[in-house]
């Protein structure tokens, strides 16, 4: 099924906010109920697709018929932008100024090549579309001209599986649950479970360097990738002849995170692991975020490392966002900071790591809370986007942003981003509630994931743009990276340019010119327009 056109996921999973939360929004943040309902899908004024007859015919030819080139209003609306809060506010107001002219559905690598060549010939920008879950402006080209959304949903096969080497080759349009189900038939798992898991695609994971909630144990998605095939207007790139190689720079790393600017990923070969015998999750309480972060750092550096390892700050713990399905429940365990640890693997391995990690956490001041908080987290781990939509429905503004840095800089980065958001939004008359958690850990550093809730203000999109700008400046100023796993898109592009530096951007632009001389691949995403 398709996602809700004006929100996240399955409409049947949406739920209204508990009264405790609506009261908090009203009393603490001054949130007022919406005065008007969002526009209905059928009431959106959709212009006719602006496709030259020759371009339309070339697309028909590329994918074997007009049934795979869709130009109806609803399909085009469903492929407009992604799922960030500004994206949703715009579509709920009926704004479709960056609507695709057509949605094209290729069946295989050769058809993708044919579509890209047709688009290059006719000057049509093309935006790859997997699950549609981008939250950084990755699905709308920078040029306000007719463009094609290249929906890869027909490319949804398990292409190969090597149980000896423990590898699988997956088509890019496979959504994560489908991929897990196909692998489970052979006794394997990918182990990649980001918050977007229920809707995101394999190709999207690779194109954005996704990171799953079990990254402490399974690694980031880019660490799982052993090979990629890329279709470009100039031909095909195949990478990954062996797990590791000294044959020059690794082209896989050039393609991972390229966000459709260099080509379209048409297959991904990944490392797989046996389906775990045991999965167990539990909660721990720490007196402060600083104390909890020190405990996570010790496990990340010296082990044993859990499969899942995350820590909510005091505010996020108090509100209950550490366990989304318990939001606003007023749990007695809400004091201090909540950490979640999880263990997946064989019975023997999980028991060993759990026991050893518990000793470390106790030594660092942690108090065990048992399995109930961990099971609540696991049950609600994909619920936060639905909660965001419920907040929007109630008249609040809710958005997230994330970054990463080295352990020694975590305190400064945490304080800088919080201060920037608090100052900017308070000065605008909408004092925010800011929550944060450490979402991913490494031996040398960690990521910080912020959730911001405030009143919407008169012009909520412009209101957020000012706060987001201030947060981005704070991130670079404190030595953080502009994104850890959401990607660059258009929202982070200008700060990515500064992070990479002039020579780095020129080198990437040279690659793009070689692979995409007509400049039709997701223009304005990742790299500035010429």
Nearest Cα neighbor of 293 from 410, 442, 401 is 410
**Residue among 281, 382, 449, 496 flagged as catalytic:** 449
> Is 262 a known ligand-binding residue?
yes
Q: Would you say 96 is a known binding-site residue?
A: no
Consult the annotation and say whether 130 binds a ligand: yes
Residue pair 59/102 in contact (Cβ under 8 Å)? The answer is: yes
Cα dihedral 454, 457, 460, 462 sign: negative
* CA–CA dist 326, 372 (Å, integer): 11
Nearest to 403 by CA among 469, 321, 486: 486
What residues contact 262, with CB distance under 8 A and at least 6 apart? 230, 232, 254, 255, 511, 512, 515, 516, 521
Widest distance between CA atoms in the chain: 71
Q: Is 218 a catalytic residue?
A: no
Residue 68 pairs with which residues in a beta bridge? none
Residue 397 in marked binding region: no
Q: Is 132 annotated as a binding residue?
A: yes
Give the tokens for residue 92.
């709920």
Q: Where are the beta strands (DSSP E) in 130-221?
A: 148-151, 158-162, 167-170, 188-189
Q: Is 388 annotated as a binding residue?
A: yes
Q: Any binding-site annotation on 211?
A: yes
Residue 487 tokens read as: 């990607």
263 is in an annotated binding site: yes
Is 208 marked as a binding-site residue?
yes
Question: Is 129:149 a contact under the CB 8 Å cutoff?
Answer: yes
259 is in an annotated binding site: yes
Element holding 375 (H helix, E strand) = helix 371-379
- Reported as half-sphere exposure (CB side, CA atoms, 13 A), residue 501 has a value of 2
Distance CA 355, CA 370 (A): 13
Residue 397 zone, left/alpha/beta (φ > 0; ψ -120 to 50; rest):
beta
How buried is residue 382: exposed, middle or buried, by Cβ count under 10 Å (0-12/13-18/19+)?
buried
134 is in an annotated binding site: yes
**CA gap 328, 237 in Å, rounded:** 50
Contact in structure between 398 and 456 (CB atoms under 8 Å): no
Between strands 148-151 and 273-274, the pairing is unpaired
Residues annotated catalytic, as ranges: 449
Annotated binding-site positions for substrate: 388
Annotated binding-site positions for FAD: 128-134, 208-211, 259-265
Annotated binding-site positions: 128-134, 208-211, 259-265, 388
């Amino acid at each position: 099924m398709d996602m809700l056109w004006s929100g996240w996921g399955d409409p049947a999973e949406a739920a209204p906010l508990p009264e405790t939360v609506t009261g908090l929004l009203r009393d603490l943040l001054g949130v007022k109920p919406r005065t008007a309902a969002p526009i209905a899908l059928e009431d959106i004024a959709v212009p006719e697709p602006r496709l030259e007859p020759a371009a339309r015919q070339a697309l028909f030819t590329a994918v074997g018929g007009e049934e795979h080139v869709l130009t109806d209003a609803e399909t085009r609306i469903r492929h407009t932008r992604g799922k960030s809060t500004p994206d949703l506010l715009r579509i709920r107001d009926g704004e479709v100024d960056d609507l695709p002219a057509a949605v094209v559905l290729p069946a295989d690598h050769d058809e993708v090549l044919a579509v890209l060549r047709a688009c290059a010939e006719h000057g049509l920008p093309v935006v790859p579309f997997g699950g549609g879950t981008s939250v950084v402006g990755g699905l709308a080209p920078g040029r306000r001209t007719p463009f094609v959304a290249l929906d890869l949903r027909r490319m949804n096969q398990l292409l190969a599986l090597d149980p000896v080497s423990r590898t699988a080759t997956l088509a890019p349009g496979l959504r994560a649950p489908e991929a897990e189900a196909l692998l489970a038939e052979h006794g394997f798992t990918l182990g990649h479970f980001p918050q977007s898991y229920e809707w995101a695609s394999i190709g999207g994971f690779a194109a954005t360097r996704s990171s799953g909630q079990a990254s402490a144990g399974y690694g980031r998605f880019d660490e799982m990738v052993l090979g990629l095939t890329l279709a470009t207007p100039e031909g095909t790139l195949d990478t990954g002849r062996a797990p590791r190689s000294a044959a020059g720079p690794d082209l896989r790393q050039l393609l991972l995170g390229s966000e459709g600017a260099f080509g379209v990923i048409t297959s991904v070969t990944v490392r797989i692991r046996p389906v775990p015998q045991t999965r167990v999750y539990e909660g721990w309480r720490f007196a402060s975020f600083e104390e909890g972060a020190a405990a996570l750092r010790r496990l990340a550096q010296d082990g044993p490392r859990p499969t899942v390892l995350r820590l909510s700050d005091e505010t996020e713990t108090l509100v209950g966002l550490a366990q989304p399905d318990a939001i606003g429940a007023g749990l007695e365990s809400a004091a201090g900071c909540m950490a979640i640890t999880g263990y997946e693997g064989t019975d023997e391995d999980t028991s060993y790591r759990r026991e050893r990690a518990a000793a470390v956490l106790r030594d660092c001041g942690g108090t065990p809370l048992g399995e109930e908080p961990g099971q609540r987290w696991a049950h609600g781990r994909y619920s936060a986007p639905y909660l965001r939509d419920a907040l929007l429905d109630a008249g609040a503004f809710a958005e997230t942003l994330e970054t990463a840095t080295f352990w020694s800089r975590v305190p400064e980065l945490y304080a800088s981003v919080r201060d920037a958001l608090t100052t900017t939004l308070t000065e605008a008359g909408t004092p925010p509630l800011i929550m944060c958690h450490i979402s991913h850990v490494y031996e040398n550093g960690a990521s910080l994931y912020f959730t911001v809730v405030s009143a919407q203000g008169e012009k909520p999109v412009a209101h957020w743009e000012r706060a987001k700008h201030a947060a981005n400046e704070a991130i670079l100023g404190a030595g953080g990276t502009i994104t850890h796993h959401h990607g660059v898109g258009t929202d982070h592009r200008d700060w990515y340019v500064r992070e990479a530096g002039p020579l780095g951007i020129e080198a990437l632009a040279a690659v793009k010119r070689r692979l995409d001389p007509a400049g039709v691949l997701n223009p304005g995403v990742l790299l500035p327009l010429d």
